A and B are shown apart, each in its own frame.
Chain A
Amino acid sequence: MQAFKQYSRTHKPHQHLICCAVLLLLLLCPPTDAMDLSSEPISPIQADNQLNPDKVSLGRILFHDPRLSSDSSISCASCHNLSKGGADTSAVSQGVGGALGSANTPTVYNSSLNFVQFWNGRAADLNQQVNGPVHNPVEMNSNWPLVVRRLNQDPAIKQRFESLYPDGINGANIRNAITQFERSLSTLNAPFDRWLKGDESALSAEQKHGYRLFKSYGCISCHQGTNVGGNMYAPFGAVKDISEYFNTRSTPLSDTDLGRYTATNDAADRYLFKVPSLRMASVTAPYFHDGAVKELKTAIEIMGRFQLGREIPAEHISAISSFINSLKGEHPELQQ
């Protein structure tokens, strides 16, 4: 606590300054009817402006490069369809040789805003994440030496790498380039973000109503922050036993269903999942880690039931769904 005091002490003068600045602004600015939305739990997405455009464009090529998979059939983009929300529409994606993945493909849009990667958070960041699909036998089933060897045979790629990275093509540099590209996949100007920035007309009445419901039901407790989720873990079935969900599901219980437990082997982490971002939820059906739910409204209903212990009425679900639609922003790669 001593350290904390120290910290507080050091910040006191700043607080004074901020107070003075706010006062000054209040005095100077003419009074308006605009709401103060700065303390809303969701904040607008900002573009990442620390990117190297050349690396981004190289990453884009690699993202679409099937040579990253063992039989050169699958690229990142195969499952993360950029024009269709950054994911695919299957419950689980097909990897090389038609192998089926174990979890639903999350969107790659805004993925850099997630505090960890994968449903069970086993990768600390995007850079680590890239290793996953490349090596996963049911995804790309490959390895870096193989990928590096293949790319080295392509003079154009080789030349691009050499111009950007002193050590040319290697796993780390491929990961870096892909990560750079992924960091550029921020969806901007979502209607909700515009509303947050003061554009009153950006949201419909229903959407605003949905937002209020979203908050009052408590969805906001987990789906908050810039990415409307993606910044915490939550147990699937936070207040209600999730067995009911799994039992009614058509597919049997699998390892993936155990959530973070598969990464930590801690009993407390059973059914614990990274809370997914709702930014692209409106276009990334099916839902949940198993991709078992095809409708957003059903997903909202299930969430209310197991996470909040509440049965949300249909009109409310509809309003919330409408609000969720307003979270989707724009990106050049994305089909509007």
Chain B
Amino acid sequence: MIWFKARLYLTSMVAIILLACLFYLLHDDKSQSGQRRSEILLQLQVLDNALDLEILLISSMQQQNYDEIVRLTQQLKQQETDPEIASLFRELPSELAGKLKQYRHTLDQRIQLTERIKTLAAVVRNGLNYMPMLLNRIEESDDAGLPRAEQIVNLLYQYHIFRSDLDAREIRDQLNTLTDNGSDGIADLIFHIQTNLTAQTQLTQLLAEYKQIPNSTAFNQLYSSYLSYRNKVTQQTEYFNSVLIGLTTALILLLTFLYLRLIRSHQQTEQARLRLKDGVDNIKEAFALFDADNRLILSNRNFSSFYPWITSLLKPGTHKEIIQKAIDEKCRYQQESATNRRVVQHIENGNYYLCSNTPTNEGGEVWVRVDITETRLREQELRKLSRALEQSPAAVVITDINGLIEYINPKAEQVSGYSLEEVLGKSPAIFSSGDISPVNYQDMWQQMLAGKAWQGTFLNRRKSGKLYWEAATISAVRDPGGEITHFVAVKEDITERRSTEEQLRMNAAVFETTNEGIIITSPDARIISVNPAFTEITGYRAEEVIGKTPQIFQSGKQSDSFYQEMWQTLENNGSWSGEVWNKRRDGSVYPQWLSIAAVRNSDGQLEQYVAVFSDMTQRKDDEEKIRQQANFDALTSLPNRIMLKRELARIQQLSDQTDSSCALLFIDLDRFKAVNDTLGHSVGDEMLQQVSIRLASVIRDTDLLTRFGGDEFVIVLQSIAEADDASQTAQRVIEVLSPPFQLAGRTLYIGASVGISCYPNDANNGDSMLRNADMAMYLAKEKGRNQYQFFNAEMREHVKNRTEMEQALRLALERNEFELYYQPVCNLETHKVVSVEALIRWHRPGNGLTGPGEFIPLAEETGLIQPIGLWVLQRGCEQLMQWQEQGLDNLCMAVNVSSNQRQLGFDARMAEKIIKRTGADPEKLVFEITESMFLDSSDAAVTWLKEFKALGAKLAIDDFGTGYSSLSYLKQFPVDKLKIDRAFVRDLPDNKEDASLVSAIIAMSQSLDLELIAEGVETLEQLHYLNQLNCTNIQGFLLSKPVTAERLPEVIRQIESSVLSLNPADYEI
């Protein structure tokens, strides 16, 4: 409405302003240009008149110069050409324009004549000016014609004054009479008078023409026409003005009228609206109406009370979206139900409104909101109760008055195993276990029908047949009239509770009877309960300690930080256990093994601490014994090898600190083995004890005597001044052991060899000290018994060599110094070389070709065996491929794998990589492993081997017979071949022992279906013997030494051609 009003005002104002402007412009413009035009016309007239004046002056010879007339003519021309003036006159009616043009034309004519007049006037003037001078000349020349001349000149002046044609004719006549008598003057006079006369005549004519030009008439006509035109225009303008004013007035009146009408209709509308609003305000529902533009038209009081936070928005004209958005800020929407499309708003304050948005005919929308909060709450209440029933931990059974089941809740379903459908309409007897329930049903019914609640316990049977205990409360439900309509049984499965009670009873028995002391405290560590074992161990009775804290047991042996740590652990982990020294009631201190556990309830709340402890006094004693055994030799009570190593480290450290030296004496008893072997271990043991006593007598207190093992003793001398101190001790050792020992009724002599190494001169750590002293001892032994020997430069050299070799070995791979040699294995049945064994050689610079025996142990020790092993496999596979290309396609290759390689990570996966890379056929590969691999018969080892088998490769046991392999081991491992160690072959067939061993191995391999290869076959006899025993695969010098790859094909050819003669089929032992 306001907007409409504003529009009305605006429109009227604009209209009025427009009209006023129009009025003003029309009036002003017309009058201004009219005025200017008048001015110009008058100006033209002024110039025209001025021109007349100038012409008058010129023609009367009074004007001295033409500047003024030039000015006038130029102004007149300018007026004609001035574009401003031209535009002013352009709009005039054609009649008026014609008149203007006509007037202008007359002006042009006059200007043209003016120019001629100017020219002629000059000539005339000059002629008149010259006449007196000419007469003078004539007079001076005494011409007789002078009087006549004077007469004619006078006539000329007369003509000039009166300009009568009569005078002109007279002058001409006279001139004719004035004969040219040869006088210059007369001739000149005649010429000039004639010229002058002609000029004056022309001038007179021009002036007449000039006067005849109807410029005044033209102007007057123009001006009067213009005036009448102007009057007409002015009249017209005024007429228009009047009309305009009339129109304006009419418009204003009309607007006023409209405005009044509008106000009235607005009032009516407002009244109608108020009525409507009043009606709408008083309905119970919230109501809002929007027009087709989604603008709010009307909302009732309840709408704002339903949504109090949007009251400020509820003004007519607010957009629906804005209101919707504002409402949405504080409410959530719910679909009333899946089938019902109606939407329910849930307001933050808890109210529920049912929403209905209905389109109106106009295209707008009506919103109606019904407050359904109360209904909703009631529904929720009911739902809550039913949910409580549904989710109740108690089983609920509802029956009708006849005791037929109407409802059981899910818990009841769960407990009984029956579903609601199964029991609906049936008697609760369906749950019954039979007649074993300790319930008097008659009593029960009596009590229930009397309206009292009955409580009791049933022994029921689940659907599954299992029995269970149930505590039940049954009561009657009455309608408002007091009539019983239903019975409700609330039951609880107490089976578990019953068993828990049993459990508790059992626990109590344990608590009472266990040998371990138990203390239970409250969270603040006050003792709540103790068991009889507690009393037995500590001597305290329960009533003496209850309410106190376990601090009363503290012996003071543990520091405060010990208890802090204990509590910390207890807090973090929930339990703590450890050794604690506590005090008994009688004051004695004893060690106990204490376990404390924090007991928390299901909420994690600390409820109590349980401390369980046992008396450790006995255990402590045992432990001391074990420690003794670990560090000391049981036989001699001397520190053992473990202790020695530890002490050595300590002593070495001490030497470093005090910058002193120490020495290690490695003592090995001579001939002790003989004592042991001949007189038995007990005598040996007794001897060792005596030796240890004698050795102890020759050392200082600060020195360390240990039994290193067997008949080896080690003495460590701390802080020696010079090497001589060590040699003196060594000498004393030898001397003290020289006297005979009286044992088992015999006099026995032994001796000792002593090796000495010093720190830091000979070694830089305990291990090398031991190693060096050991080495020195061997040397002493070699020199003869009862000697001592210092570790010396030669030995150092040996060590050094070893170090150098290690370095060379590391470089050997890089420098490609290794080469593989191959030794063929020939099958005696097929007479073919079936495989070769790859054997490594080292072209060590400066040392020539080095066999594996010299460097493989070192490689094993240093871990270099791994890269070397991989290289061997790689090279072997490559070679296999080369041979294959050369036509040796049935040849297998055996590669050695040491147990160290396995420990260093070598496995089937690594092998597979190499095989794949080289393209070798894995079935042509045999991995030779040593028996030592079988020492570890773990699953891991078996798996490791099986993976090689899975590649397709074969496995062979190398050096078989030297180790500990037993039949049972072999069964476990997935091996294909056995290689009989050369040691057994060497003495065949003469050595009976070896012969029987070999035949046993052969028999065993046959029974296990293992292929056999005899290594180290050097003689024909050996070959024949083995062949006799069905060991058909032979390897050895007899056939060929290991050879280079290049030579191998040739060697194979030789073997295969000669083997026939080596192995006559009819050969017999």
Q: Which residues of A contact B (CB under 8 A)?
A: 1-4, 6-8, 39-43, 115, 124, 216, 218, 221-222, 224-226, 231-235, 238-239, 268, 272, 308-310
B65 adjacent to A43 (CB under 8 Å): yes
Question: How many Å lie between the Cα of A284 and that of B191 in the bound state?
Answer: 33
B65 adjacent to A224 (CB under 8 Å): yes
Residues of A within 8 A of B188 (CB): 309
B70 adjacent to A308 (CB under 8 Å): no
**Nearest Cβ on chain A to B560's Cβ, whole angstroms:** 99
Q: For residue A10, which residue of chain B has the nearest CB?
A: B46
B119 adjacent to A239 (CB under 8 Å): no
- Bitwise, B23-62 to A at CB < 8 A (1) or not (0) is 0000000000000000000000110111011000000000
Q: Which residues of B contact A (CB under 8 A)?
A: 45-46, 48-50, 52-53, 64-67, 69-70, 73-74, 77, 115-116, 118-119, 121-123, 125-127, 129-130, 133, 188, 191-192, 195, 215-216, 219-220
- 7 A-B pairs besides A115-B74, A309-B188 with CB distance below 8 A are A4-B52, A7-B53, A218-B126, A231-B65, A238-B119, A239-B123, A309-B192
B216 adjacent to A43 (CB under 8 Å): no
Question: How many Å lie between the Cα of A244 and that of B622 in the bound state?
Answer: 173
Residues of B within 8 A of A7 (CB): 45-46, 49-50, 53
Residues of A within 8 A of B69 (CB): 231
A225 adjacent to B49 (CB under 8 Å): no
Residues of A within 8 A of B125 (CB): 218, 221
Residues of A within 8 A of B215 (CB): 3
A309 adjacent to B191 (CB under 8 Å): yes
**Nearest Cβ on chain B to A217's Cβ, whole angstroms:** 8
**With A7-B46, A216-B129, A309-B195 known to touch, is A224 a contact of B73 (CB < 8 Å)?**
no
Q: What are 14 contact pairs spanning A and B, CB under 8 A?
A: A3-B48, A7-B45, A7-B49, A7-B53, A216-B129, A218-B122, A218-B130, A225-B70, A232-B70, A234-B122, A268-B116, A272-B119, A309-B195, A310-B130
Q: Please give me the 3 A-B residue pairs with the lowest Cβ-Cβ distance, nearest first.
A: A218-B126, A7-B49, A221-B122
Q: For residue B123, which residue of chain A has the nearest CB?
A: A238
**Nearest Cβ on chain A to B137's Cβ, whole angstroms:** 11
Q: For residue A42, which residue of chain B has the nearest CB?
A: B65
**With A222-B122, A309-B188, A309-B195 known to touch, is A231 a contact of B67 (CB < 8 Å)?**
yes
Which of A40, A225, A233, A239 gathers most chain B CB within 10 Å? A239
Which of B69, B126, B192, B220 gathers most chain A CB within 10 Å? B126
Question: How many Å lie between the Cα of A308 and that of B65 in the bound state?
Answer: 18
**With A3-B45, A3-B49, A309-B191 known to touch, is A233 a contact of B64 (CB < 8 Å)?**
no
Question: How many Å lie between the Cα of A136 and that of B647 in the bound state?
Answer: 132
**Nearest Cβ on chain A to B49's Cβ, whole angstroms:** 4
A3 adjacent to B67 (CB under 8 Å): no
Q: For residue A221, which residue of chain B has the nearest CB?
A: B122
**With A232-B119, A234-B122 known to touch, is A225 a contact of B65 (CB < 8 Å)?**
yes
A4 adjacent to B74 (CB under 8 Å): no
Question: How many Å lie between the Cα of A224 and that of B67 in the bound state?
Answer: 8
**Nearest Cβ on chain B to A188's Cβ, whole angstroms:** 17
**Nearest Cβ on chain A to B203's Cβ, whole angstroms:** 13
A4 adjacent to B53 (CB under 8 Å): yes
A41 adjacent to B122 (CB under 8 Å): no
**Nearest Cβ on chain A to B287's Cβ, whole angstroms:** 68
Residues of A within 8 A of B116 (CB): 268
Residues of A within 8 A of B126 (CB): 218, 221, 239, 308
Question: How many Å lie between the Cα of A222 and that of B69 in the bound state?
Answer: 13
**Nearest Cβ on chain A to B506's Cβ, whole angstroms:** 116
Residues of B within 8 A of A2 (CB): 216, 220
Question: How many Å lie between the Cα of A3 and that of B119 in the bound state?
Answer: 26
Residues of B within 8 A of A3 (CB): 45, 48-49, 52, 215-216, 219
**With A41-B64, A221-B122, A231-B65 known to touch, is A4 a contact of B49 (CB < 8 Å)?**
yes
Question: How many Å lie between the Cα of A231 and that of B126 in the bound state?
Answer: 17
| Neighbour of B64 across the interface among A6, A224, A309, CB < 8 A | A224
Question: How many Å lie between the Cα of A115 and that of B65 in the bound state?
Answer: 13
| Neighbour of B66 across the interface among A8, A224, A235, CB < 8 A | A224
Question: How many Å lie between the Cα of A42 and that of B74 in the bound state?
Answer: 19
**Nearest Cβ on chain B to A175's Cβ, whole angstroms:** 15
Residues of A within 8 A of B70 (CB): 115, 225, 231-232
Question: How many Å lie between the Cα of A7 and that of B45 in the bound state?
Answer: 9
Question: How many Å lie between the Cα of A312 and that of B125 in the bound state?
Answer: 18
**With A221-B126, A222-B122, A238-B123 known to touch, is A39 a contact of B53 (CB < 8 Å)?**
no
| Neighbour of B119 across the interface among A41, A216, A233, CB < 8 A | A233
Question: How many Å lie between the Cα of A216 and that of B130 in the bound state?
Answer: 8
Which of B122, B130, B133, B220 gathers most chain A CB within 10 Å? B122
Question: How many Å lie between the Cα of A218 and that of B118 in the bound state?
Answer: 14
**Nearest Cβ on chain A to B876's Cβ, whole angstroms:** 92
Residues of B within 8 A of A310 (CB): 130
Q: For residue B188, which residue of chain A has the nearest CB?
A: A309
Residues of B within 8 A of A224 (CB): 64-67
Residues of B within 8 A of A234 (CB): 119, 122
Q: For residue B121, which residue of chain A has the nearest CB?
A: A221
Q: For residue A6, which residue of chain B has the nearest CB?
A: B49
| Neighbour of A233 across the interface among B118, B121, B195, B220, CB < 8 A | B118
Question: How many Å lie between the Cα of A39 and that of B64 in the bound state?
Answer: 7
A235 adjacent to B119 (CB under 8 Å): yes
Q: For residue B195, which residue of chain A has the nearest CB?
A: A239
Question: How many Å lie between the Cα of A221 and that of B63 in the bound state?
Answer: 10
